[in-house]
Amino acid sequence: MLFNSIEFLIFLPIVFLLYWSARRSIRWQNLLIVVASYVFYGWWDWRFLLLIALTSSCSYASGLLLENNEGKRKIQRIVSAVNIVLNLTILAIFKYYNFFVENLDALFGSVFGYHFDWITLDIILPVGISFYTFQALSYTIDVYQKKLPATHDIIEFFAYISFFPQLVAGPIERATNLLPQFQKARHFDYAKATDGLRQMLWGFFKKLVIADNCATIVNGSWDSYHELSGIGLLMVGILFTFQIYCDFSGYSDIAIGCARLFGFNLMRNFDFPYFSRSIPEFWRRWHISLTTWFRDYIYFPLGGSRCDKWKIIRNIFIVWAISGLWHGANWTFVCWGVFHATLLAIYNLAGINTKYKECVAYGRFLPNFKELFQMALTFFLTIIGWIIFRAENMTQAWDYIYCMFTNAPTGGDTFYSWVFYGFLFLIVEWFQRDKQHALQFPDTRLFHSRIVRWSVYYLIFIIIIFSTGTNQTFIYFQF
């Protein structure tokens, strides 16, 4: 079921009313969440409910086995490893099997001149499998590392894995944050619920108005990019940069806001990343739930930043190669990861990896010239990365970038107005960059007025109704 669908607009209020009518029983609320989440996920294809149920069951059982073998570290390591391998195997079969088979066959063909009669699998990639698999893995690892006790309530655990607001595209929650929220009573909080609705409204605006309209232009221009001028190609790259941000952060805003309606606090997933002054800062602000997952479960176990410079660089490349592959079974994603690993390594060697933890121009109205230059450079580097990310193959990616720097002006580019609208959107976010989301109004006399606040809501709603482009699937559903 899609957030931007009529079915969801009917589904959400029904679940909301049933959920709060059962507020006296945590177990009934959790059970309702499990049922609602399975309906939400199975609406697309009910057969994939078996996969998420298998992942949930194995991870739940692994937690109990880890607890029952307290003090027996060898057995615990085996239990943890078996569950991790099982979950990653399921992910690999559905997401990467054909990719590895085809590349291995191509390697043997080019080196030995011999092609195997490989059998590829004609399967559909289950929506959200990368997200809920990582969420399940975090539980097993955290129980093994004694960061939280194993849960004995299978309903609350299934609710944790399948919680429908963030099931198919995150944020990728940690068991240490979300699971305890299923174990205690939730009380309806009007202020939290209304702020959740505001965040959902802003998320829908970003998705339906900005992302979908940008997608229409980008998709229509990408296949004929040779015909565009260099500046036109840059404009398309900028529009895709807006598209992927508004698409994914819009989903996260809807998910986080929706969870707040039910009394849950999900982790923040985006922190106005296009105002970053460096690539390391960008990755502290973009898809935070994934980057911190890789940091905690891969980067730190490799040694993190507690070793010499060259091992730190090695760790960065390992993590970002895996991160690229996580995004999809295509060499463009791997190269995109290596591209950012290279940039992060350069910043690390320059000694600026840990700077800029406050938002840019904190306490000031405008950035200074240095900050403006840093943001512009970071934004340009992310555009190059997103072009690699968007390309169908590396040949197209390099050719697109080459044409962007070499194609002569044609006078036929028509993207300037949409790029202008995109930067207007960024101006709105600039004024709210120290908030959780753009509709979290500042505490001023102007916004204490209900008339002003509701005028803003109605204006955004009208823009959504009359400016919505062709309905597009969320980009991160494919990951």
Query: Which residues participate in catalysis according to the annotation?
Result: 327
Tokens standing for 143? 């129980």
CA–CA dist 127, 385 (Å, integer): 24
Alpha carbons within 13 A on the beta-carbon side of 249: 25
CA angle 59, 291, 347 (to 5 degrees): 150
Query: Residue 303: left if φ>0, alpha if ψ -120 to 50, beta else—which one?
Result: left
CB 140 within 8 A of CB 14: no
Polymer length in residues for the chain: 479
Tokens standing for 314? 């090695």
CA–CA dist 273, 340 (Å, integer): 15
CA–CA dist 18, 112 (Å, integer): 63
- Report the amino acid identity of residue 228: L
CA–CA dist 356, 116 (Å, integer): 52
CA angle 464, 391, 107 (to 5 degrees): 145
The one-character DSSP state at 335 is H
CA–CA dist 461, 248 (Å, integer): 20
CA–CA dist 87, 166 (Å, integer): 19
301: Cβ contacts below 8 Å, ≥ 6 apart: none
Nearest-CA neighbor of 202 among 270, 283, 291? Answer: 270
CA–CA dist 17, 15 (Å, integer): 6
Dump strand ranges (E) for 63-144.
Answer: none
160: Cβ contacts below 8 Å, ≥ 6 apart: 135, 139, 151, 173, 175, 178, 179, 182
CB 305 within 8 A of CB 349: no
CA–CA dist 76, 143 (Å, integer): 10
CB 443 within 8 A of CB 264: no
Q: Residues 303, 305, 307, 311: is their CA dihedral positive or negative?
A: positive
CA–CA dist 340, 344 (Å, integer): 6
Helix (H) or strand (E) holding 321: helix 309-327
